[in-house]
Structure 1
Amino acid sequence: MNGSTLQMFAAECAEGLPGTRLEHPFGPDWEVFKVGGKVFMLMTEVPGRPVVVLKADPGEAHALREQYSHITPGYHMNKKHWITVEGGTGVDQKLIGELVTDSYLLVVAHLPKAERPVDPRTYGTSTRAAR
């Protein structure tokens, strides 16, 4: 998957999640996806390369960086809790869909219960159990 396709698919995934908003607080070069006012995904270009920046569990983020050469520490974010994904070998729609959803659920889990658009423990369990 190339970088442009990566961003297009990641945006489609994010827009399909309940309560998601797209904002441009850092200017037109950054697309920022939020849930409950909190960021779960950013998209921009890092010198000519389209990237997607996502929140990730620290242990999983480390494992992803070890497994995929196109996943690196979060660009301009906390390197322990965020990852940057570029298009390339091994980066496919299934992986991107899972990473976007996981990022979203990590953020939702830290929202006050009354502000959660979904229950992060059960959202998508029928499709996620198949992993």
Structure 2
Amino acid sequence: MTPHELKAACLAMPGAREEFPFDERNSAFKVAGKLFAISRLDAEPLRVSLKCEPDLAVHLRTSHPDAVLPGYHLNKRHWNTVVVNATVPEQHVRDMIEDSYDLVVAGLPRREREKLRWSALRHG
């Protein structure tokens, strides 16, 4: 997955926006003002921090110890930092992006979820 593909995958989520609240190098991908992914797209290796259910976060770290790490400068219980490389299949990274987005949207007020046409039945 290239930086361009990572950015495109994050922005493909309904209502997603790229912002730069920390500095001009770190892309923060948000929905309804809430963060679901952070990446420094010019970093080598490419990494992305994603929100995750706590039990799944631990499972992913155990399954991919070289590629899925506790969230860098984030709540390590709820965030993983994924090294985007060959050890984690691209589709798995895309699934983790979608899961992170879904966790954030699920916590939004119903009115915001309705604007996004998001349904817990489809995403839960």
Gaps of 5+ in 1: 126-131
TM-score, normalised relative to structure 1: 0.83
The answer to whether structure 1 residue 12 and structure 2 residue 11 are counterparts is no
The answer to whether structure 1 residue 112 and structure 2 residue 105 are counterparts is no
Alignment of 1:34-113 (within 5 A): 34-44=30-40, 48-68=44-64, 69-113=66-110
TM-score, normalised relative to structure 2: 0.87
In structure 2, the partner of 1:121 is 120
Higher relative contact order (CA 8 A, sep 6+): 1
**Contact (CA 8 Å) 2:84, 2:93: kept in 1 or not?**
no
Superposed displacement of residue 118, structure 1: 3.2
Per-residue CA deviation, residues 87-119 of structure 1 (Å, 9 max, x unaligned), is 233212210110000000000000001011132
The answer to whether structure 1 residue 32 and structure 2 residue 31 are counterparts is no
Superposed displacement of residue 50, structure 1: 2.4
Q: Which moved more, 1:15-24 or 1:83-92?
A: 83-92
Superposed displacement of residue 14, structure 1: 1.3
Per-residue CA deviation, residues 28-81 of structure 1 (Å, 9 max, x unaligned), is 110000001100000027x74321000000000000000002000001100000
Q: Structure 1 residues 74, 120: CA separation in 2 closer, same or farther (over 3 Å shift)?
A: farther
CA distance in 1, matches of 2:81, 2:89: 15
In structure 1, the partner of 2:17 is 21
Counterpart amino acid of residue 70 in structure 1: A
RMSD of aligned alpha carbons = 2.0
Across the two proteins, how many residue pairs are aligned to each other?
A: 121
Equivalent position SS for 1:108:
helix
Superposed displacement of residue 120, structure 1: 4.2
